[in-house]
Amino acid sequence: MKEMDFNEMIIKRFFTKPDLSPLQDDEGKDFHYALVGNIIGKHFLGVEKKIVYGTKHFSTNTKVILLPEYGGMGHESIPVYGKLRNSSRKIKIVLDSSYLKNVRVKAIYNSKVMKMISISHFYKHFENSKPRLQGFAQSGFDGEREIE
């Protein structure tokens, strides 16, 4: 009996995705709190120190939603979701965290993004708590590559 309970616990812990239930605002709309940041502007790139704006995929000041599933060494690389440069398409890619600035907590109402957040182990850990997410947001996303 105990062995079966242990197996069920292992399956629940490692093989099921978390389900984070949304909060509701004053008007009754569902939302989740998420980390949102902007892409840095002017910065140096490569050995030649060429000055470029934004990244290959995102233009300067593009708002991206952070989906930090795996931290690595201090969240150096973070999956983000945002609007592609010169397109109306939105993509999810892994981006170096030094390209992010002005990271903050915002309420997200988009159903596709809410689904990504609700199955995220990262956001499940923070339990949709704005103060806890703000503490993480202040932990060092300062756009360190940006010049001027």
- 35-73 pLDDT, tens digit per residue, is 999 988 888 888 888 888 888 999 988 999 998 877 666
Average pLDDT, the chain: 83
d(CA 82, CA 12): 31
Domain ranges of the chain: 18-137
Percentage of the residues of the chain whose pLDDT score is greater than 90:
24
**Torsion over CA: 97, 102, 106, 111 (sign):** negative
Provide mean pLDDT across the span 114-140: 85
In the structure, what pLDDT confidence band is assigned to residue 1 with cuts at 50, 70 and 90? Answer: very low
Rounded-to-integer distance, Cα 126 and Cα 99, Å: 24
- Residues pairing with 92 in the sheet: 81
Of residues 2 and 86, more confidently modeled = 86
